[in-house]
Amino acid sequence: MEMINIKINGMPFSVEKNTTILDACRQFGIRIPTLCYLRDINEIGACRMCVVEVKGARSLVAACVFPIDREGTEIFTNTPKVQEARKTTLELILSNHDKKCLSCPRSNSCELQSLCKEYGIENENRFAGENPVQPIDTSTAHLIRNNNKCILCRRCVAACKEQHVGVIGANHRGFDSVIGCAFDQNLGDVACVSCGQCTVVCPTGALVVKDETTKVFEAIADPDKVVIVQTAPAVRAAIGEEFGMPIGTNAEGKMVAALRRLGFDKVFDTNFGADLTIVEEGTEFIDRVKNGGVLPMITSCSPGWVKFCEHYYPDLLPNLSTCKSPQQMTGAIIKSYYAEKEGIDPKNIVSVSVMPCTAKKFEHKRDDEGRDGIADVDIVITTRELADMIKRAGLQFTALPDEEYDPALGLFTGAAVIFGATGGVMEAALRSVADILTGEELEQIDYTEVRGTEPIKYATYNVAGMEVKVAVTSGLSNAAKLLDDIRAGKADYQFVEIMCCPGGCVNGGGQPIQPAEVRNYTDIRAERAKVLYAEDAGLPLRKSHKSPIVQKLYEDYLGEPGGHKAHDLLHTTYVERKKY
């Protein structure tokens, strides 16, 4: 490591050679504003908000991409020239920006808005001129694209490319440049997988989740409807961020209390469905291994991943588990077993789910989800949408007491909780499959080899004398690498877990948005995942097949795992979709 001496604003420092000015300044407590920069994903120096002066340079330089490679480099980050350049950049951005901030979903969490306040922008129309109006794209189930609020930072383009999908990019040239799909198609007409990663990196309101909170409020207000809500495990690990809690806070109890005060008739946990998924998926895996089924079996819990497979790897659809996701399984049981048990007509139940994932908005409307014209899940809202509902209702989230889920479908095991982190589904499945195959209750149940945020993880386990090779990955670029190996016959695995979003559901497209300066230097995925593993470790039951609610469900209603009734309610099918 070669160190060089430099000066920043007249102060002497020593940094590793070729460190960027942006990173060097951050090391020494100096913040430089950015709008386009995303570490390792979008390092293009396009927005020019991060410009600084370097002694001897003929013009201002972009701190995010300028390497410090000379001994004695002198950098100035806050001169009048720098301040004026940044302010002018903001005024130019505003010249063709839709400035309806009061009604914008990103108001108060918009990075552009924050910088305008910081730099004292008083004349937002200084460069007023031609301002063409772009059509608003509402063609997908999960988001709204409003290019009138786009600042051409290209973060969304980078995120989409990072997901191996790359269905958006810069169209046209110069003043006519817009971010869009090839041939200006709507997003709903291309092979978008609905992951929503573009929405969490967008610094403005150009890409926002399609809001369905009004539907939920209307259902709650309808006296003829029984409104039941379920929450995914990753939601508890992130929703506190919307109310000022530190990243990595478990807000489960306050979230449950808030949901009751919003007026939901029952508050259930999707973890119930996760336990159910493991029993069905584990049974399916054992059947494939023993009876020559298609291997490797690949998990089907992540709807973004499933859609990706349908678009880009349709030849591997037979490898997917036929199990519905925990969201859909929970919804199916609410509309069948629970409805019968409570004497409620399923048509009068409004099943709402709170998810960290925008692809769930697509999933619940898929064909072969639900039966007899009754959907498993009626409305899907994201973590961010639930936070908006709580704020709108005037609930003081941090002051609420901690409450527990309703017991009917609210008891769960630690195996279900870790579904929200990459590797969690695999570990949960191994805990049950190992017990079932050996006929013993094994004490060693922490499969730490499949934990963590590494791109692809591999492990081999000896289960009942059989060597089981597994692989785990998250993020679709990583998935593509693994799938190419499987396609080519280079990968000898029996069981594979794939999650669409990098790091798993904790990093889903519907989770709280953190500004780039936080995303760039904090491992948000790892901090949220710690919440789930901590809860798992503290629960008395940590194996899905040991859940008394799941056991009673099979005894009273479903029969045996993988049986006819279970297949009818809890399994689904897939279709090949166009790639372009």
Q: What is the pLDDT of residues 505-528, one digit of tens each?
A: 999 999 999 999 999 999 999 999
| Mean pLDDT of the region 140-145 | 98
Q: What is the pLDDT of residues 171-187, one digit of tens each?
A: 999 889 999 999 999 99
Rounded to 5 degrees, φ, ψ at 268 are -115, 165
Cα gap 119→347, rounded to integer Å: 54
Q: Give the closest residue to 300 by CA, choosing from 291, 289, 309.
A: 309
88, exposed or middle or buried, with CB in 10 Å at 0-12, 13-18, 19+?
middle
pLDDT of 414 > 90? The answer is yes
Assigned CATH topology for domain 93-209: Alpha-Beta Plaits (3.30.70)
Average pLDDT over residues 34-60: 96
N- to C-terminal Cα distance for the chain?
46
Question: What does the pLDDT average to over 217-239?
Answer: 98
pLDDT at 443 over 90: no
Distances (CA, A) of 156 to 138, 269, 276, 374: 17, 32, 36, 36
Mean of pLDDT values over 323-339:
98
* Residue 389 scores a pLDDT above 90: yes
CA atoms of 343 and 338, how far apart (whole Å)? 8
- pLDDT score of 410: 84
What would the mean pLDDT of 127-137 be, rounded to a whole number? 89
Inter-residue contact 341 to 226 (CB < 8 Å): no
Measuring CA to CA, how many Å separate 497 from each of 198, 340, 376, 520?
Answer: 23, 34, 24, 27
- pLDDT tens-digit profile of 279-312? 999 999 999 999 999 999 999 999 999 999 999 9
| Fold held by 222-570 | Rossmann fold (3.40.50)
Q: Rounded to an integer, what distance in angstroms lies between the CA atom of residue 494 and that of residue 481?
A: 17
- Give tens-digit pLDDT for 376-385: 999 999 999 9
Task: State the burial class of residue 503 (Cβ atoms within 10 Å of its Cβ: 0-12, 13-18, 19+).
Answer: buried
Q: Give the dihedral sign, CA 83/85/91/97.
A: negative
What pLDDT, on the 0 to 100 scale, is given for residue 466? 86
Q: Which of 45-49, 463-467, 550-554 has the lowest mean pLDDT?
A: 463-467
pTM: 0.96
Give the closest residue to 511 by CA, choosing from 497, 531, 496. 531
Overall fold of domain 3-78:
Ubiquitin-like (UB roll) (3.10.20)
C-alpha–C-alpha distance, residues 152 and 36, integer Å: 8
To which H or E segment does residue 171 belong? strand 169-171
Of 269, 237, 272, 243, give the one whose Cα is nearest residue 256.
Answer: 269
The pLDDT > 90 percentage for the chain reads 92
Mean pLDDT of the chain: 96
Q: Phi, psi at residue 119, to the nearest 5°? A: -95, 10
Confidence of residue 239 (pLDDT cuts 50, 70, 90): very high
Dist. CA 101–CA 495, nearest whole Å:
48
Sign of the CA dihedral with 270 first, then 274, 275, and 279 last: positive
DSSP state letter for 323 = B
Tokens representing 338 are 């629970």
Tell me the domain boundaries of the chain.
3-78, 93-209, 222-570
In the structure encoding, which two tokens stand for residue 316, read together?
């591997």
**pLDDT tens column, 17-42:** 999 999 999 999 999 999 999 999 99
In this predicted structure, what is the pLDDT of residue 580?
A: 72
CA angle 414–420–426, rounded 5-degree value = 70
Mean local confidence (pLDDT), 492-498: 96
* Contact (CB, 8 A) for 196 and 476: no
The DSSP call for residue 506 is: G
Query: Residue 278 and residue 260: Cα distance in Å, rounded?
Result: 28
Whole-number Cα distances in Å, 9 to 74, 131, 312, 514 = 8, 39, 51, 29
Query: Which pLDDT score is estimated for 132?
Result: 87
